[in-house]
Amino acid sequence: MLRAIYDWVDERLDITPIWRDVADHEVPEHVNPAHHFSAFIYCFGGLTFFVVVIQILSGMFLAMYYVPDIVNAHASVNYLQNEIAMGAIVRGMHHWGASVAIVMLFLHTLRVFFTGSYKHPREFNWVVGMLIFAVMLGLGFTGYLLPWDNKAYFATKVGVEIAASVPVLGPYIAIFLQGGDIVGAQTLARFFALHVFFLPAALLALLGAHFILIRRQGISGPL
């Protein structure tokens, strides 16, 4: 049955060359755990991507129930948490997955740095990776406010105040984040839009560039 479906799709889209190009791509020996124990440090990038996929899928589920306004936001989270089947599990996956993604990305960045994988000819990919790190931190910051409870409110308030302390541009950054002079309805709306639309779009674009560069330049050599 699956073979028939594959043949039907392949006849119309010619996906076999693409699949063969991916499946038959050789992986260097030094990233094979069967030959080198240190190869496990090369898994952090793939694990980060796996967690990001979980974040996207769980976030899509959460967005079906979340109401992004200050009157209903907290109640919608409570409803999802306590009334929807498996809601608490999915929200827990998204909540803890955010922390796991940052940790895995940090470990991946350390691996790239200490193995010298950012050097010629991979300098541009290092820059792309740093932009991915910044976007991931932005996703964590904007998502923290969405439950709209006391912890989220005051943590965001502190974060905005830190941003406001940036020389010259600080006040403008604070106004952009808050949407006004205080953390309120406009702030929640902006953080929701950033968290669900703008930052994920930037992340997907950067990940696409990251994977294309890895494919073209190959995996870096051993330490």
Domains of the chain: which residue ranges? 43-114+126-217
- What integer is the mean pLDDT of 152-180? 95
DSSP class per residue in 28-86: -GGG-TTT-GGGGGGGHHHHHHHHHHHHHHHHHHHHTT---STTTHHHHHHHHHHTSTT
Residue 118: predicted pLDDT: 93
- What integer is the mean pLDDT of 82-109? 97
Average pLDDT of the residues of the chain: 93
Judged by average pLDDT, the poorest of 13-27, 88-102, 104-118, 163-177 is 13-27
Residue 37: predicted pLDDT: 65
Whether domain 43-114+126-217 has CATH 1.20.810.10: the reply is: yes
The Cα 71–Cα 157 span in angstroms is: 19
Tens digits of residue pLDDT in 50-65: 999 999 999 999 999 9
Measuring CA to CA, which residue among 128, 154, 159 is closest to residue 141?
A: 159
Residue 19: predicted pLDDT: 81
The pLDDT > 70 percentage for the chain reads 98
Tokens of 132: 């991915």
Measuring CA to CA, which residue among 203, 221, 25, 211 is closest to residue 119?
A: 221
Tokens of 18: 């693409």
Q: How many alpha carbons lie under 13 Å from residue 40 in its C-beta half-sphere?
A: 2
Residue 207: predicted pLDDT: 97
pTM: 0.92
